[in-house]
Chains A and B, each alone.
Chain A
Amino acid sequence: MAKFLLLAFRNVFRNRRRTVMTLFMVGGGVAGLLLVGGFFARMFWGLREHTINSGLGHIQIFTADHFNRDEVRALDTGIDNWRQVAATVKTGGHVRGVAPRIEFYGMVSNGDKSSVFMGTAVDPVAENGLGFFPTTFTSGHDLDSKSGGEVEALVGAGLAKSMNVKVGDGLTVLSMTSDGALNGVDVEIVGIVDSGVAEMDARSLRITLPAAQRLLQSDRVTNLVVGLDKTENTDQVAAELAPRLRGLPQQLVLKKWIELATYYKQVRSLFSTIFVFLGIIVFFMVLMSSVNTLLMTMFERTREIGTMLAMGTPRAWIVALFMLEATLIGIFGAIVGVLAGNLLGVLLNYSNLHLPPPPGFTVPMSFQVLHVPSLMIGSSLLVIVSLALASILPAIRASRLQIAEALAHV
């Protein structure tokens, strides 16, 4: 067996120039997949962390009725004893913080103009405890939890632009109370927020939790946002939390970030499909060009194959030899590709390249490539299998050669 492997190994490097060309082709395919896949993986990672750390959190807790609620009367299905729930959640491991929120909708007006908004009421101290990305302000500052004067508000850059307001201006916020009455509160804009997502900034308004509870006339919250030390711990924490929540008086449900991140899932699905398509192209590219190369090799070695068959070598051995040689080329090509792909990835990561903002975003995207071991293994297996398959036709042809004709081959 060792001699057979040695024969295959030496045959691979028999025609060095051709082997090098094949290795370049196979390695190029692997490197390309690693770069594209690594870029996508970095993009997924960036989008995931951006989604989580821009406010979604790792886990959110709602009442069981929340997802069947009337959106206008947001707190009808809110959490009553949210302080007790938050305290329960905080005792778990890996939990960095728990923040209560009220999600509500309504109208804002400055006397001249009115606009709909998507509001979020927050506890600034608890929000800071989540350890998320700091809010980016185009002007002004964050909400002050200790403020005793005017109700403070943050508005999205798009909303501020459409309402033609700036920091220091006043707005009237109108929304429906839990009793179904229309209520209003005057707020002072203390900051203009640029989240990087244009659609969010066109509608977002943020006020403090007590102000929203006065506006909506309820001391409930719609949800609790849980921030963890690492995203990778989400499943573990969720599994530990679920039974503890079942022991509380109100029926609550726990949602992991992936269940709430619709946009992330859509992006991931789209780019994963693109990547699979690229993988299929590489697979067939390697397959077709390798068939040609291996057929050429077979024709060149016709007399040698005839000699081996004449000496009583089983035809299955000839098939195995050709497939082994192709598989070895695949393995060497994969090694070349993994090395080249990682090296190029490092160079690209240091090159500080930026891409235009993706759809819906306002900030350019940094061109970064992740080094993903599973991607290296997957891409390598893809080309190895591709080459092994490519060798089937030449291998079968070689094994079926008529010995007398093969020996007379010039």
Chain B
Amino acid sequence: MDEIVSVEAVSRKFPLDHSFVSALDAVSLRVAPGEFLAIAGPSGSGKTTLLNLIGCIDKPTAGQILVEGVDTSKLKPGRMTALRREKIGFVFQTFNLIPVFTASENVEFPLLVQGLSGRERRQRVAAALESVGLSARANHRPDLLSGGERQRVAVARAIVHRPALVLADEPTANLDTHNATQLIDLMHDLNRQLGLTFIFSTHDARLLEHTDRIVRLCDGQIESDTRSKGGSRG
């Protein structure tokens, strides 16, 4: 059992009027530790649903998902919360920073939830902001940061508690091409330097050349699973 994430024949259906719509249909996927994986596909292909299921913020209708060998479908809500808190970092399309907190306070939040001491929090926050190149903007609130800076704060927040897995749902969708490329490169650097596993979704074909592995979804099913030459796993 080497995989950090194992998706086994997972389906997810949502109720719609008097019937169901299938967002994912018997999807299977294995992700090894340290991978830098992109889930690509058009809107409505099931990218966000798959990330939500892997991130333990939604439950599959059928199949099972293992995160570090733990079957998440069998976990009680409290354990699911703890798993998210300790093992997973999230980056969202719309940044989702807490607007009344400064950049450093936003990055600090996952550590607060984990109950770390003030000293350790300060050290980790400083290191995380340093790693995304935003030390100078630590005391700025989100409304004073550019879109690219906000998303870098979100990345710092996602990695500050040293998770096993970082999930990023369309992290570049609200960024221009320059900032989007910079963000993907930043995430890739963090992936290499810290050995963090990154799974992110995108429908921007230009960004895919920066990734190691591309899983293409279409209509809730995996259309292809390809690895680039420089990919971390073959």
Chain A interface (Cβ within 8 Å of chain B)? 3-4, 6-7, 10-11, 14, 303-304, 306-315, 317, 403-404, 407-408
Contacts and interface: CB of A to CB of B under 8 A. Distances in A.
Given A14-B99, A310-B90, 6 more contacts: A7-B101, A307-B98, A309-B81, A312-B114, A314-B81, A407-B96
Nearest to A405: B58
B94 interface: yes
B84 to A, nearest CB: 4
Contact of A10 (B94, B101, B113): B101
Contact of A310 (B48, B57, B108, B114): B57
A280 to B, nearest CB: 35
Given A10-B101, A303-B96, A304-B96, A312 B110 contact: yes
B114 to A, nearest CB: 8
B84 A304 contact: no
Interface residues of B, number: 28
A404 B83 CA distance: 16
B110 A311 contact: yes
Given A4-B112, A14-B99, A310 B58 contact: no
Q: Which of A11, A306, A309, A312 has the most CB of B within 10 A?
A: A312
B110 A404 contact: no
B100 A310 contact: no
B148 interface: no
Contacts of A304: 96, 98-99
Given A303-B94, A307-B96, A312 B101 contact: no
A312 B85 contact: yes
Contacts of A310: 55, 57, 84, 90
Contacts of A3: 105, 108, 112
A376 to B, nearest CB: 31
25 contacts: A3-B108, A6-B105, A7-B98, A7-B100, A10-B101, A14-B99, A14-B100, A303-B96, A307-B90, A307-B96, A308-B98, A308-B109, A309-B57, A310-B55, A310-B57, A310-B90, A311-B84, A311-B110, A312-B82, A312-B83, A312-B84, A312-B88, A403-B52, A404-B52, A407-B96
Interface of B: 48, 52, 55, 57-58, 81-86, 88, 90, 92, 94, 96, 98-101, 105, 108-110, 112-114, 157
Nearest to A14: B100
B58 A404 contact: yes
A10 to B, nearest CB: 4
Q: Give 7 closest A-B pairs by Cβ, nearest first.
A: A312-B85, A10-B100, A403-B57, A307-B96, A312-B84, A404-B58, A404-B52
A313 B81 CA distance: 7
A407 B84 CA distance: 15
Contact of A311 (B48, B90, B99): B90
B184 to A, nearest CB: 21
A311 B109 contact: yes
Contacts of B84: 310-312
A121 to B, nearest CB: 77
A280 B100 CA distance: 35
B54 to A, nearest CB: 12
Contacts of B100: 7, 10-11, 14
Contacts of B110: 311-312
B16 to A, nearest CB: 14
B108 A311 contact: no
Given A4-B112, A7-B100, A313-B113, A407 B92 contact: yes
Nearest to A406: B57
A292 B100 CA distance: 22
A366 B178 CA distance: 76
Nearest to B77: A315
A309 B83 CA distance: 12
A39 B42 CA distance: 71
A317 B109 CA distance: 12
A235 B98 CA distance: 59
A304 to B, nearest CB: 6
Contacts of B98: 7, 304, 307-308
A317 B55 contact: no
A407 B168 CA distance: 13
Q: Which of A4, A313, A407 has the most CB of B within 10 A?
A: A407
Contacts of A309: 57, 81
A312 B92 contact: no
A311 B81 CA distance: 8
A312 B99 contact: no
B209 to A, nearest CB: 28
B153 to A, nearest CB: 13
B113 A312 contact: yes
